[in-house]
């Protein structure tokens, strides 16, 4: 299934976009020598594939005021992590209720899901904070944002290669034990 996986019955918390690159890598195809543009074949120029069909949120826009505990349930992040993200500047300004409680929006949920994906890439927190700062500065930072993401992409590809090598070693060992454990 390609497209956006959204939170709902039977799905994991949050959502993510499945890019042609991600699917190529996961299906075992070599993407090492490919450019970003080659991995994006079939995607219209200028189209942000992660902003394609909007994810299903627990509430529609305009009624999207979530408490920190609701965000914890939706994203799988801890309340401590959410507060820390806000403190270090990774989370944009979070609205507060008249009693001072944090109130998150659907846009905040989308940002948190994206940040979670960046964490999974192994991107250092300092780079994630830098990326968030660049986003707040506006469109004039597109080039710098792209460079940061391309660098992270190279790191992810290197990790995929390492994991494939590790998988090959595991497969050899499993094969060895499968043949040695067979009665003769």
- Closest to 132 measured CA to CA, from 85, 82, 73: 85
pTM, whole model, 2 decimals? 0.65
Residue 148 near residue 130, CB atoms below 8 Å = yes
Domains of the chain: residue spans and CATH: 1-55 (no CATH), 57-121 (1.10.1660.10)
pLDDT in tens, 29-80: 444 444 444 444 444 444 454 545 556 787 777 778 999 999 999 999 999 9
Residue 55 near residue 7, CB atoms below 8 Å = yes
pLDDT (0 to 100) of residue 99: 94
């Amino acid at each position: 299934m390609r497209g956006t996986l959204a939170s709902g019955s039977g799905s994991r918390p949050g959502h993510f976009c499945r890019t042609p690159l991600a699917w190529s890598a996961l299906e075992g195809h070599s993407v090492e020598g490919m450019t970003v543009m080659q991995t994006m074949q079939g995607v219209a120029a200028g189209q942000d594939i992660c902003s394609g069909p909007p994810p299903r949120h627990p509430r529609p826009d305009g009624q999207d005021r979530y408490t920190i505990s609701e965000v914890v349930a939706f994203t799988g992040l801890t309340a401590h992590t959410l507060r820390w993200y806000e403190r270090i500047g990774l989370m944009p300004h979070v609205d507060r209720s008249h009693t001072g409680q944090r109130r998150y929006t659907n846009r905040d949920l989308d940002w948190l899901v994206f940040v979670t994906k960046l964490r999974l890439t192994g991107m250092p927190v300092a780079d994630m904070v830098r990326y968030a700062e660049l986003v707040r500065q506006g469109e004039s930072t597109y080039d710098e944002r792209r460079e940061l993401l391309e660098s992270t992409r190279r790191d992810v590809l290197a990790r995929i290669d390492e994991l494939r090598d590790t998988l090959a070693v595991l497969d050899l060992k499993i094969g060895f034990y499968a043949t040695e454990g067979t009665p003769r």
